[in-house]
A and B are shown apart, each in its own frame.
Chain A
Amino acid sequence: MNMPILRLNKLSKTFERRSFWNATRPLSYAVRDVSLDLVKGETLALVGESGSGKSTLGLLTMNLLTASEGSVVFNGKPLEKAGAKDMARFRRTVQIVFQNPSAAFNPRRTVLATLAQPLLLHGKPSKTQLRARVDELLETVGLTPAAAFRDVFPHQLSGGQRQRVMIARALSVDPDFVVADEPLSSLDVTVQAQILDLLIRLQRERDIGYLLITHDLALVGEVADRVAVMYRGRVVESGPATTVCDAPQHPYTRLLMASTLSADPNERRIGAADTARVFDVPRDDGAGCSFAGRCPLAESQCKTEVPVLGRSGQPGTEVACHVIQRRDGDV
């Protein structure tokens, strides 16, 4: 296995919870004690529902947010100790692709200007070099002929084309690793497949590593090498994507898999038989497993003691669940 490009070391991020009546502001954890290795050429899928902290973790990885505890280690050095030179290298090595291509561009700048800016920042190309480089980028992401796209404004492009420009912008600094935060979810189904193919091709050609932040488990099964499942700010299960998708261990991962819609009308997963169980998702008071309130396996230990990631019965996967760990420990 390659050396990791980035190492997320026990990252936590807290936000102040504002209350109208109460002047003291209790901290709420968006991300709690997450450690991950990000490797070149490999796709790590970060799966979770809204509020699980997966996008916050993406921003922490990019150093667009500062961690409250823990650190992002780049080149063997924590980023908070990195100097200007290291920081510039970090920015060239790690890039981000956002979810919503319509918000991701300065509306007053053409495609050429958008792509030229990072090139000018990180080098001193001549005007003709610049133009050639922009054309090359546009062609790389499948916007051909480049001349047709150079001088238009982002809002004149379709969603898929905009997403391609966004990917071109990330590629402009020739990164080794790209954080892709729900890169498909605002696109049409047929366009999603095109963009996904593009991301996969780029990975093959340039050996780029991805942190693919998504809520779509069907996607994970198709493209990811490894997967980390997040719930309420913690990673509850991680391991090789095929293992986790085929044999989910943690009760939450199982719930996720059971909720994923089938692509086949003959194998429906949503039956009328299982009437929807309602839970008013209980507030997480920090004690115990945060999934305990919804968990069918929950025991008394789960309400008092926070489970930590540990080995599970499946090879290569780790699970943060008392019940599963005890069960597999006995085996």
Chain B
Amino acid sequence: MSDEASPLGARKNRAELFSWANTLRSGYGLVGSITLAILVLAALFSPWLAPYDPHAISSSYLGPPSGEHLLGTDLVGHDLLSQLLHGARVTLLVAVTAAVISFGLGVLIGSLAGYFRGPVDAVLMKVTEFFQIIPSLVFALILVAMLGSHLWLVTIAIGITIWPQQARIVRSQFLTLREREFVQASRALGFSDRHIIFREIYPNALGPVLVQATLDIGIAILLETALSFLGLGDPNKASWGQMLFGAQEHLERAWWIALWPGVAIALTVLAVNFVGDALSEWFNSRSDVGRVSLQKRKNVASPPAAAPSRTGDGTALLDVQDLTVHLRRGAKVVRAVDRAEVKVRPGERVGLVGESGSGKSMFSRAVLQMLPSANVETFTGRIALDGIDLMRLNEADMRRVRFEDLSIVFQDAMTYLNPTMRVGKQITEAMAGLSATDRQERTRQILASVALPTTTRFMRRYPHELSGGMRQRVLIAMALASQPKLLIADEPTTALDVTVQAQVLRTLVAVHTKTDMAMLIITHDLAIVAEVCDRSFVMYGGQIVEEAAVSRLFSEPRHPYTRGLMASMPGKSDYRLGKRLTGSVVDLTDVPTGCRFAARCELAHDRCSTEPPWVRIGDEGVRCWLFADESGPIGRSTDKPADSKEVTTS
């Protein structure tokens, strides 16, 4: 329906933006690892790479960079390039050893504390905190001052001062993983502590711990430099820090002595951090595969919208026609919604039932124009609210529609409430064009309508101070604040207890009877539809498979899928007959060309390999071949060739 060219353009720009960002991100890792690799190689092969013996004394002292000494010479006449290369050995050795010490101590103490908890945890964490609060430099200073400046002593001092961070990370990983159900299951099966620690917890805790170990190398380099600069390095082992130490008195005459080790240190630490960032990015991306971020952005740029076109047949408040939403997931395309037709009339309570993977949530997001824009592959069709085609609105106009005419109540109230804003304020914010006192008054009315206290004390509370049911009702109150024409409730009670669920549903019904507002209730729970709705759509595999008045839907379901759903519902008479649906929901990335339900359908036959038509039967409809040539009570389908996707008569 909407212009195809401009969405494509918009999508391409966005895709380019993202691929560029991706390259940059992986570029960090690449640049970092190459730099590090060169450094390590240079350190390993320094005896062969260095043009001079680092301790050889040449005739020119404090010589600037020249052909003979590429980086110049220092006070004594050492060749700085050679010193730098040999210094890399010392510096890297100290840093890596210190990081290993920190890793060992951190993992040991962190896992003991995290696994055994209780008093063990308390004691070990006190020790960790003690080490964390003593200034590391002072500690190293004392150690070196007491025992002399040996390289190994410096290394140990550094290792001992940086492990607490690692220990904390390991401990928190343990505390989280320990409660995970697969660890609990291992305990239930009778596995030993050793097995659980080494086989269940460590492999899963590895990511953040390795990242911290990498970052520790950078920290150790900086600490070593600081110690050497204070004169506490091992004078016999010329690290980069030692070079800086030697340079400090001649900064004004010979800038190059300090410059090279300084640059080397900065580069190395930067490279290490790049690698650490890339690693952590990688571990994170592996742990949340397939998570889709939602953005309140339309990527379907509309054609320069003239006056909002008023279309539609006038009877429907929400009129969705031919809505198709395909999303990209990796290399695959998720056919979340395919050619959906949904109408909601003013004041009606309509259900949209489907299991997970039926596309019902993407349907509601499409109506709100809140699709995860980076992943949208196709978004076409017509969505008209009160005659205004939402697909053609620009973002500003759409925002106004969302603010005034269309409200949504989500499942998870806590995520959708602002935790730092008082409840009353959040409701008031959703109102437009009223004076402050009017708003207060209106807020009280709304609170009363959702059966919440109307006291100022209540309005001054924060979301976390409320119970789950109260929060959900605050969310409903916010949705009502703008007096919308349509309220979409997306799984409004799923996370709630039964008694609270009953209250919230009662609230919704009560609100509905007082106002003229229409409701679209999206849910997986047939019982909610039975309780609340007048009419309902059933969605399966991205398609609407049945539309019927609720009383009829429950007494005589038509589509085999709807029948299966009814038989899966405890309390229905069919339940005890045990006519269960087999298999699971069709994979939206790989839908068959024919009927999407055929694979699970007892009544599937040869015709089902071609896509079934949408058969209108009076006000109702079903997408199934079984009804295609059976005259319904009022209308019947026309027999079009099988390749025509839909047969719709009314």
Contact = CB atoms under 8 A, between A and B. Distances in A.
Interface in B478-512: 497-507, 509-510, 512
Given A188-B584, A190-B580, A265-B551, A98 B569 contact: no
Most chain A C-beta atoms within 10 Å of own C-beta, residue among B181, B200, B504: B181
A274 B506 contact: yes
B509 A270 contact: yes
Given A121-B189, A190-B581, A96 B184 contact: yes
A173 B467 CA distance: 41
Contacts of B468: 50
Interface residues of B, number: 69
Nearest to B571: A263
A279 to B, nearest CB: 9
B356 A188 contact: yes
Nearest to B550: A265
Contacts of B186: 106, 117
Contact of A161 (B512, B513, B553, B584): B584
Nearest to A114: B182
A304 interface: no
A189 B526 contact: yes
A275 interface: yes
B196 to A, nearest CB: 10
B185 A169 contact: yes
B505 A64 contact: no
B190 A87 contact: yes
Interface stretch (A32-40, A124-132, A211-219, A320-328): A211-219
A49 B497 contact: yes
A87 B187 CA distance: 12
Interface string A144-172: 00000000000100111100001001001
Interface centre among A259, A269, A280 (most CB of B within 10 A): A259
B525 A221 contact: no
B43 interface: no
A122 B190 contact: yes
A222 B576 CA distance: 8
B254 interface: no
Interface residues on A, range: 35 or more
A217 B509 CA distance: 23
Contacts of B189: 91, 95, 117-118, 121, 169, 172-173
Contacts of B525: 189, 261
A110 interface: no
8 contacts: A50-B497, A95-B189, A108-B203, A190-B565, A218-B570, A262-B530, A265-B551, A278-B452
Interface of B: 180-182, 184-191, 199-200, 203-204, 289, 355-357, 451-453, 467-468, 470, 497-507, 509-510, 512-513, 524-532, 550-551, 553-554, 564-565, 567-572, 575-576, 578, 580-582, 584-585
Interface of A: 49-50, 59, 62, 64, 87-88, 91-92, 94-96, 98-100, 103-108, 117-118, 121-122, 155, 158-161, 166, 169, 172-173, 188-194, 197, 215-219, 221-222, 255-256, 258-266, 268-272, 274-278, 280-281
Which 7 A-B pairs rank lowest in CB-CB distance, beginning with the nearest? A91-B190, A261-B527, A259-B502, A193-B568, A49-B497, A263-B571, A188-B355
Given A194-B581, A259-B501, 9 more contacts: A62-B188, A64-B187, A172-B189, A189-B525, A193-B581, A221-B570, A222-B570, A263-B570, A265-B529
